[in-house]
Amino acid sequence: MTAPSQDARIYDARICRLGEGPLWHPRRGQLFWFDILDRRLLSRSPAGDGLSWLFPDMVSAAGWVDDDHLLIASERALFVFDLQTGSRTDLAALEADDPLTRSNDGRADPWGGFWIGTMAKTGEAGHGAIYRWYGGRLERLRGGMGIPNAICFAPDRSAAYYADTSEAVIWRQPLDAAGWPAGAPRVFLDLGPEGIHPDGAVVDAEGCLWNARWGTGQVVRYSPDGQVIDSIALPVTQTTCPAFGGPDFRSLYVTSAADGDPSPDAGLTWLAAETAVAGLPEPRVILTEDVC
């Protein structure tokens, strides 16, 4: 593992067994993230106080709907969550008939839809899938995966990226004008020969992909043609997902996982760097009916 960045600092000291899904809400100016295994949504108030919401099943990823509502993916459903009242309204079942799977990485797309991956709770290969919720329906895009991850989108809307952590591959999937897959995906990065397992990712304003490398403590920036441009290292092993935030979207936040990592700071949430290049605000999830 490379030396940790001198600029990295702890953003939140609460330990997450499996920190994931960081989302900067562009209207609230607030970071949200999840501890999947402990079924929590976490955040911080403007005053810096820790906020937490506990759910009956595992939750993993979110998109923002408006100032007070998030679309959240759980192990059984997609639902709209009211941050003020704590109430929820289910939108669609998500493999609700399969107790062996749960949701994992997900992200809103530029068309107002939401992509979400599922996986076996044991990580067993072949049980994972990627879905898109759009226009009031949930459609399966790809099955037979291990651990879907790294869902993010090119700024020009030409493609989606996603990974299978267990296969150590990131794909680039061309998209049509409505955001649906157009043709077969191609391999963007094959990290298997390096023994690297890609986790969550986000794309910056220049179209470069920032990927958290599970097991290395790194977040690596790749050019649109797959070349390494930069990397940031944290004093933990299991970095899980990056997110851009702050007033100019140059603050790079990174979640991490404590389970299986003996590092003293494992499972904390980090402000890893202030980057020279800006990220992009996450797009709003557009609902087709009034459920808020």
Euclidean distance between CA atoms 105 and 118, whole angstroms: 8
Say how far apart CA 75 and CA 180 lie, in whole Å: 24
Pairing of strands 69-74, 169-174: unpaired
One-letter amino acid at 144 equals: G
d(CA 131, CA 93): 11
Q: Cβ neighbours of residue 114 under 8 Å, at least 6 residues apart?
A: 63, 71, 73, 78, 106, 107, 108, 132, 133, 134, 285
Question: How does strand 218-222 pair with strand 228-233?
Answer: antiparallel
Q: How far apart are CA 176 and CA 135, in angstroms?
A: 15
Count CA within 13 A, CB hemisphere, residue 129: 15
- What is the biggest distance separating any 2 CA atoms in the chain, rounded to whole angstroms? 49
Rounded to 5 degrees, what are φ and ψ at 83? -70, -25
Local structure of residue 181 (DSSP, 8 states): B
**67 annotated active-site:** no
d(CA 207, CA 122): 33
Residue type, 137: R
What is the DSSP code (8-state) at residue 238? B
107 touches 151 (CB < 8 A): yes
Q: Which residue among 35, 109, 199, 204 is the active-site one?
A: 199
Query: Which residues are known catalytic residues?
Result: 199
